[in-house]
Structure 1
Amino acid sequence: MKITVTNSKLPFTSIMKITFFGYFIGMGLVIIPFVLLDVGGMSENTNRITAIIIIPIILAIQAVLLGLVLNLGLFIYSKVKPIEVEHSENQQNL
């Protein structure tokens, strides 16, 4: 994933990428065991297929909504106090 910082600012798309992939992957890993346990207990094949298809769609929608809310909050905050992004290269000897 490539995050581009221009003029010490993170653009909307970069924040959305971080939020979407972080939430989608993180929640996906948390939900997988519950889905497997629940799908195994379902009696009809249609319910299993529906659950397997619907859950990633729900996670994607939640990730987009979380990203939009996060961006809105950061946008409003940036109007009150600027958000500064600093870049520094610290090389540590290991």
Structure 2
Amino acid sequence: MSTKASITGGERHHLYFEELLSEHPKSVFLEITSPSEFRVTKETYKGSSTDNLVVEIPSETMDEIAIAWIKQRGLQGALGGPVGAEFGGPECPYD
């Protein structure tokens, strides 16, 4: 059995992973409600096919999602950001 563990969510988006009892999550899921534009295409080349999903996401929403993901994964240092108790860092008592 699994449950959704939210990373970030808003009126029109939800980024989450499915939490299983004894496993570390390997994937993340992004739900976009009423996107302005989306398309699903299938391309075939030399007998091999590829499915593509393109979704329009407002810049502000993508910023929210990206920041939440960086915090969730502890990637601040990989981007040159604060890594300790500095403001914006993962150990900072202020968000």
Q: Please, what TM-score do these two structures have when normalized by structure 1? A: 0.27
* TM-score under structure 2 length normalisation: 0.26
More RCO (CA 8 Å, sep 6+): 1
Q: Which has the higher strand share?
A: 2
More helix as a share of residues: 1
Question: Could you say which structure has the larger radius of gyration?
Answer: 1
